[in-house]
Structure 1
């Protein structure tokens, strides 16, 4: 390890020690020495259970269990809160450490640019012989779309997150400034105040958030962090490109776009009504216009050039004359103040046009029906025309270094987020589209879901009339299983007036979501059928793209990790081929979650592992609610996340990564399909065919408490029913809580063992791991889950289940042991995660602090089932605490 790496890691330990010490002081002050001593006793026993001599570990576990079993509820809650708060602080320190490591890497120059950064990617492209012009052409057309979703297994309240963000800023201030002794003392006092306030704040919501609350939450990340990073992205790309290729990239629009499902996802959420969707769209527009007004006002303090000292173009003069005629009241109010300052005057007119558009939106939200004022901007294109006038005039005025970059950043922001901050998407079950289409064709009245869809489409039409097509133009069909599903939605859109006669197409893109094994395998046939439908084909020719979403969640829950992974790879390869043969541009939309069972894992590696040709300059994926905090809460984290995604798309699209030969890949894919079938049979035999599984799952996981946790507006089930109706998020969340994390690995060991035990099988698996990125990524993700799982603790949960389920639990334990053994055989490592020391250390450091919460959760579940009436709140605290400790929970 280099001296810089050692120094940076020691800084992380220093931060954790400081935050832990301050928390200890707060505990003593707020709860007393006795509570602090009790918490310390629990902590030391947990550490001894993990790290003590072998002979003492079992004794420590027994003592810990006994201590927590006898602990009164009035003591259990503050102890739980202490560990949960500690994890919030550790997560904060680790986030800050990621930022510090990136900065130290750049400053220290540790053997080149940081791995995965845009500069490193550009170096790889150049070394692969990709010419500068080819990179430039791709960047001009590349489009990366991140769709933000609610799905909040992130159980923290916004109030709590705000306090941790303030602590983050104090840590940054401590690192980046040479503080005087007084300033150091004041900074530490401020940190102590935030931790005290954090302790005194209720970390549990009193009631479930509304859809409106979730809209505000997700837009916070855009307003406070992501908007600025998108505006800066062209400069970031230009800097990396010029540094490697030695020539400027040129003016570039930001390739990233933000979309959102929050307020538009009707799949199993009855709270997303047509009225909620309409209000969400107007909330997006109002907040977007306000954000742009703030940016324009700030620009006014930059573009202060006087006509005495800078040349004013004729185009700018003519534009100002038009503005003065259209907005005489603005001229009367600000004309004298901006005399001789044409750029500032132009910005005043721009601000007034934005204000007029905002007043119209707010009037509509209040129920008023006045028309849009003539002076108001009608679309982002109108604003961009004015900004481009400013841009050209500054170049003519020799002001490239006098504010041009700030104008271009605003242009990039408008191009990326328009007036809406994030483009809203609508998701609905395919069965609702079928019902609605049948009713339009003279059939029976639509179902409740079908009627809701028709009403939502009407709101989409009204919104497009008010704000332009770009506000909401994607209709996703969950559980799509046929071409008829897509055509039904297409007819509904046309029937609702979402139609452009001039182009001969709908003004929405209908996106089938293939998420179960049968639909994934049948997807290529469905596309072929759609492409031969005359009216739909004309629609596609006008729209220019067919988007298809592939779901990583329900397929994994249905058939297990290996079978889902194989089906997804097959589907993406075949869908790409079908679209290519038909001459239709395909955009694949990856419905990833945060857990491995739902497609989670490192972003750049996941992109590079996708089938050849399936990216082609276009990438779209969901960003789950729980991911937003650790990916986008700070500007540096957001920048790193965006660079990793963009870098992956660049490398994949330009085919600049090592690839296995086509013939070899075909052989590997056939082997993987065989592994998947073995894994599917093992997984299905456990989850869907063993009659003891559902009783075991209900008893050995806190699924009942997860359903009661007020962390999201959407119910945990799509509809009434059993395991089949349970959503993939609470399914994964439950298994992470009990530390078994079964969906992330079950069936993998059986598959690897059966194939690896054949003559030459083990060497084949090792060669696949070395040479095929997709298989390498799957195995690495399984290894990460195995390292996080703890079967000793999971056994304590299993003991809560009926005795009749004991053989089932023994099967799970045996499969876990088998999977660990065979993953090490495939990777060639003697220990799980041997090659990822940083992650292994992070897990090892966290486990002793997660363990007491798990022990307490088991005890509280036992008490609740025995009739304890006051266990609910402490139980919910264990859920949020373990979630904070395990990080990727759903």
Structure 2
């Protein structure tokens, strides 16, 4: 490791040693010296197997296998848990180190802005000659939406994450504060206590979480992390703009929206029924309103400006008089208390209206629960002071609250209170703009075939839910409940319907007809009050998406609907396309779609928003976000970007405020650079040549991938034997089943598909077929030179290759070979050699392309992270192989240990599905 890198990483290594030492003390205290000695021996042999002298590695591997095979039954689970907890602590230390490095950039006056930061983007724009006014205009219209989802890729329980969060807070205090010896000792003791509690906490959930549990989980990230960060974003952007351009931004910006599928995602989840969707709508809204009431009360408490010292503008006083006339009881109650304090008086009226809005929502929830036979609502009026009147007109939609808060903020500026209240008022306005009344705007997802079934029933005159098939009834009743929620809380309660597995324009038209019949039609605007979003997932659907969009935008009923809505949203799926045709072919199809659809929308004179259905793993569209954004085709962003944030990504990216802000900066800076065309691109003629070459690569990769996964007769037998896919289905990760429906490999979701291959260390979906594509192209005359040219000049190709390199560095064919021994001989002989040969082929060609002797030579941070973990993941992999063999041999007494290895390997690999 170079000296500079060692210096940068020294605090991380020190922290890992500290946490490892404390874990060792806990192991001795809780389990005894013997277990600690076993764990240390396993750790030492695993490291020697990886990093020892070449002549001693085989001996270390044999000794390690013997030690694990002879491990006493009562020591099996503690050993697995010891390594799992260690991974959790290492992950935590790395998160903290990322925060430490970001803070070092921010506090070093001589340092360049951190790569991916908004300030770095602003300097890039300035250097590229983009004028300040053009940047301002882009920022005013910037529209970035995060859609949080509940895909079951988070293997850790919420209670485990909370303990880790408390350890992180203690590490931060040790890092940032000048502690006395007593304070330092106390912080160390608190960390040790949390590690002890972590050891004593069950890693595996007893029961599969409910949809309600998942709603609470996603609400935690919004309430505890994102809520306070949203108003900070305009400040961060304004400061970065001024640092680059030397002048104030002076523009009202609110670039971020938070949406959620959790509670309304019906795709393959039978637990999400209309009543559950309705509960989710109420839960988001009630929690959001309570948070707003508290925020308005705090703001009112802060705005103590008196007319004796500040002159309020007349239009603020006129607004207060209007409120007093509309809410005389509130005026009578607060009048004496707020005499001469106009802003505080105005905030009391806003609070009264919000309280009335909350009471209206709670009353609606009570009625809904009574209709469904669940009894009275459980939510109480926790944020209403008993002595206060709540007689006010409920807000009908968030826009009304925004107008009131704008009056407050603008009047503070007019009265020269910019430094004594305006900032806080605008912060709250930004939160309302991003979230509305709810913690997040809910989106519904449903299978396109269910929408077709509902539309068919309606067309035949069977408009009563009881007359419909179960699938049609579920979609139709859900739309009816969304209509009711919109009547009570405005359109922003839920105004998006994503149609999974869309295959034709008829799917979208069927959804529109169903929405109209369900009460979601706006006669005044001649449109539905919901956006219908086709989700193109299969290769055939992606390839047909251009024809489908043209047909929709020319349709005599659908075109007026979109014109009234203002934008057509189209979602593209990275997961199922990758599972179907492999990484290269899916990447090529997704690139073509993003090149073509914006042009079709522009021809139809309609804005288009592309919704990226990305996962956390490379096989499902994951990878470095900034690099991925800059690699998107020209014109595919246009100031609008929307993407899913799934499962484990929430913990990796949003578990701490500093991580979340860094994530948001990376995303916003990438969108801004792409929108303003400041990212490097090859000339158009070269890009066309590169795209044609990549399509050839992709077709070769598709044939190789399909030839193995879908056409090899023994593949399914091999896959079932060498991965813990059946055990994954039993692991209580999320409310959703691992399959959309009964069936074989075709019905298996992409998440458990990737999870299974990650467990056996092959990570096949992230690279299989890439080597074949590169080899076929590279062996053509001048093909190798073309590939190197693409690598040097085309960000899209470089992003694909960099992601594949990362996956290959995590994969381990030696470990995989042990899993392959679980398969019947015929299946193993038919499949395993092909996988190993393709791995070697891909690895060899990547090294030729990058010019590196080792994988990730150009990314030492990631290389260090992987090398830090792999030796410790190996023992869990060896144990999992033996446990799978025992379980399939009829020994069910070790099933719990087997499930624990799934958790441990997931924590060690930092990636599940």
CA-CA distance at 1:336 after TM superposition? 3.8
Q: 1:380 is matched with which residue?
A: 398
What CA deviation, in whole Å up to 9, does each residue of 1:846-883 have, x standing for no partner? 11111111111111111111211221211111111111
Contact 1:257 1:416 in 2 (8 A): yes
Contact 1:357 1:373 in 2 (8 A): no
CA-CA distance at 1:319 after TM superposition? 3.0
Q: 2:875 is matched with which residue?
A: 852
CA-CA distance at 1:548 after TM superposition? 0.6
CA-CA distance at 1:677 after TM superposition? 0.7
CA–CA distance in structure 2, aligned partners of residues 848 and 2 of structure 1: 22
What CA deviation, in whole Å up to 9, does each residue of 1:209-231 have, x standing for no partner? 00010011011111111121111
Contact 2:316 2:411 in 1 (8 A): yes
CA–CA distance in structure 2, aligned partners of residues 461 and 156 of structure 1: 36
What CA deviation, in whole Å up to 9, does each residue of 1:42-100 have, x standing for no partner? 11111111111111111111111111112133211111111111111111111111000
Matches within 5 A, 1:592-603: 592-603=614-625
CA-CA distance at 1:7 after TM superposition? 4.2
So what's the TM-score if we normalise by structure 2?
0.95
Higher mean displacement: 617-626 or 70-79: 70-79
Query: 3-state DSSP class of the match of 2:230?
Result: helix
Q: 2:344 is matched with which residue?
A: 344
CA–CA distance in structure 2, aligned partners of residues 3 and 382 of structure 1: 59
Contact 1:425 1:474 in 2 (8 A): yes
Q: 2:889 is matched with which residue?
A: 866
Higher mean displacement: 509-518 or 251-260: 251-260
CA–CA distance in structure 2, aligned partners of residues 834 and 662 of structure 1: 31
Q: 2:911 is matched with which residue?
A: 888
Q: 1:36 is matched with which residue?
A: 36
What CA deviation, in whole Å up to 9, does each residue of 1:172-209 have, x standing for no partner? 11111111111101111111111111111112111000
Q: 2:767 is matched with which residue?
A: 745
What CA deviation, in whole Å up to 9, does each residue of 1:217-272 have, x standing for no partner? 01111111112111111111111001111111113231110111101110000000
1:689 is aligned to 2:707: no
Query: 3-state DSSP class of the match of 1:254?
Result: coil
Unaligned runs of at least 5 residues, structure 1:
none
CA distance 1:373–1:490, change in 2 (3 Å): farther
Q: 1:723 is matched with which residue?
A: 745
Higher mean displacement: 324-333 or 729-738: 324-333
CA-CA distance at 1:299 after TM superposition? 1.9
Matches within 5 A, 1:191-270: 191-270=191-270
Contact 2:819 2:881 in 1 (8 A): yes
Contact 2:330 2:391 in 1 (8 A): no
CA–CA distance in structure 2, aligned partners of residues 452 and 297 of structure 1: 40
Q: 1:441 is matched with which residue?
A: 459
Q: 1:422 is matched with which residue?
A: 440
So what's the TM-score if we normalise by structure 1?
0.98
CA-CA distance at 1:443 after TM superposition? 7.2
CA-CA distance at 1:340 after TM superposition? 3.4
CA-CA distance at 1:332 after TM superposition? 4.9
CA-CA distance at 1:545 after TM superposition? 1.1
Matches within 5 A, 1:790-801: 790-801=812-823
Matches within 5 A, 1:572-611: 572-611=594-633
Aligned with residue 724 of structure 2, among 702, 711, 717: 702
Matches within 5 A, 1:276-287: 276-287=276-287
Contact 1:27 1:36 in 2 (8 A): yes
Contact 1:609 1:774 in 2 (8 A): yes
Matches within 5 A, 1:347-496: 347-367=347-367, 374-442=392-460, 446-496=468-518
Q: 2:899 is matched with which residue?
A: 876
CA-CA distance at 1:630 after TM superposition? 1.1
Contact 2:152 2:736 in 1 (8 A): no
Q: 1:637 is matched with which residue?
A: 659
CA-CA distance at 1:376 after TM superposition? 2.2
CA-CA distance at 1:806 after TM superposition? 2.3
Contact 2:140 2:251 in 1 (8 A): no
CA–CA distance in structure 2, aligned partners of residues 560 and 768 of structure 1: 21
Query: 3-state DSSP class of the match of 1:620?
Result: strand
CA–CA distance in structure 2, aligned partners of residues 528 and 316 of structure 1: 49
What CA deviation, in whole Å up to 9, does each residue of 1:544-591 have, x standing for no partner? 111110100001000001011111111111112211222121111110
Aligned with residue 865 of structure 2, among 819, 823, 842: 842
Aligned with residue 535 of structure 2, among 503, 513, 527: 513
Query: 3-state DSSP class of the match of 1:534?
Result: coil
CA–CA distance in structure 2, aligned partners of residues 324 and 625 of structure 1: 47
Query: 3-state DSSP class of the match of 2:570?
Result: strand
Query: 3-state DSSP class of the match of 1:259?
Result: strand
Matches within 5 A, 1:543-692: 543-692=565-714
Contact 2:397 2:491 in 1 (8 A): no
Higher mean displacement: 289-298 or 132-141: 289-298
Query: 3-state DSSP class of the match of 1:425?
Result: strand
Query: 3-state DSSP class of the match of 1:613?
Result: coil
Contact 2:330 2:392 in 1 (8 A): no
1:832 is aligned to 2:855: yes
CA-CA distance at 1:316 after TM superposition? 2.7
CA–CA distance in structure 2, aligned partners of residues 196 and 212 of structure 1: 29
Q: 1:816 is matched with which residue?
A: 839
CA distance 1:195–1:256, change in 2 (3 Å): same
Query: 3-state DSSP class of the match of 1:510?
Result: strand
CA–CA distance in structure 1, aligned partners of residues 236 and 488 of structure 2: 35
CA distance 1:2–1:801, change in 2 (3 Å): closer
CA–CA distance in structure 2, aligned partners of residues 632 and 802 of structure 1: 43
Q: 1:27 is matched with which residue?
A: 27
Q: 2:289 is matched with which residue?
A: 289
Higher mean displacement: 634-643 or 332-341: 332-341
Q: 2:379 is matched with which residue?
A: none
CA–CA distance in structure 1, aligned partners of residues 67 and 342 of structure 2: 74
CA-CA distance at 1:304 after TM superposition? 2.1
Q: 2:385 is matched with which residue?
A: none
CA–CA distance in structure 2, aligned partners of residues 699 and 721 of structure 1: 17
Matches within 5 A, 1:767-778: 767-778=789-800
CA–CA distance in structure 1, aligned partners of residues 215 and 45 of structure 2: 43
Higher mean displacement: 832-841 or 333-342: 333-342
CA–CA distance in structure 2, aligned partners of residues 852 and 110 of structure 1: 45
What CA deviation, in whole Å up to 9, does each residue of 1:664-684 have, x standing for no partner? 111111111111110011001
Contact 1:266 1:427 in 2 (8 A): yes
Query: 3-state DSSP class of the match of 1:367?
Result: helix
CA-CA distance at 1:5 after TM superposition? 6.0
